[in-house]
Amino acid sequence: MTASRWQPAEGSSRGRTTLLTVLAHLPVSQRWLDLGGTVARFGLAAVFGASGGIKAADPYQTYVAVKAYDIMPASAVELMATMQPWFELALGLLLLLGVGLRVVSVISALLLLIFMAGVIQAWARGLSIDCGCFGGGGNVVPKATSYVTELLRDTGFETLAAWLIIRPISWLSLDGWLGRAQAPDLAEGGLQT
C-alpha cells in the first residue's frame, strides 16, 4: 500500500485515519479488490482454524487419519499427527490477523498442494480412505470415498491462497495497518517481495 492511502482526509479535524476514511478515498474497483482479499484471507483463516482445531481436539483420530495414507513410518505418522493441527492453527491465526500475508499464503498453498498430493496418491493406489481434513479420517468402505469432492474443495482453497499471494491486501490486517501490504505493480515487472 502506498502511504497516501493511509493519510487522513484533508481537513480532518481529528488527524487519524479510520477504515471508513480510507475506503471513502479508494476508487470503487480498488475497494472491490480489497474486499476480495479480505474474503480470501478470512476464508482461508477459517479453513485452517477449523481443520486445525478439530484435529487438535481429537489427536487419536488425527493419528488414524494420517496413518491411513500409508506413506510414512509409524514414528513419522505420530510426529505429523501431533504437529499438523498446531501448524494449521498457527496459519489460521496469522491469516486472521493479516500478518505476513504473502509468505503465509505461499506456505498455505504449499501445504494444500501436499494435502492434494496425498489424496491423489491414495486414490491412485486404490486406498479407501476419508482424507480427515476436517476431522474423522481413516479407512472407509470403497464406495464411501469422495476424492473428487476433496480435490475440488482443496482447489477452491488454493484459489484463495493464490489471490493472497498475488495481491496480499485486505481490510483489517496488521500488514495494512503497519503499511507493509503492497499490490503488485504489474506495469513494473509483477510481484514485489
Q: Is pLDDT of 2 > 60? A: no
Tell me the residue range of the domain where 170 lies. Answer: 27-179
In a domain, residue 105? The reply is: yes
Distance of CA 37 to the CA centre of its chain: 11
In a domain, residue 98? The reply is: yes
User: Who has greater pLDDT, 72 or 8?
Assistant: 72
If one counts the domains in the chain, the total is 1
Name the least confident of 54-58, 71-75, 106-110, 157-161: 71-75
**Whole-number average pLDDT of the chain:** 83
Spatial CA neighbour of 163 closest among 32, 72, 49: 32
Supply the pLDDT for residue 187.
Answer: 44
In a domain, residue 51? The reply is: yes
> Are 130 and 65 in contact, with CB atoms under 8 Å apart?
yes
Q: Is pLDDT of 12 > 50? A: no
In a domain, residue 8? The reply is: no
Read off the pTM: 0.76
Model pLDDT for residues 114-128, shown as the tens digit of each residue: 999 999 999 999 999
The C-alpha atoms of residue 41 and residue 72 are separated, in whole angstroms, by: 32
In a domain, residue 77? The reply is: yes
In a domain, residue 173? The reply is: yes
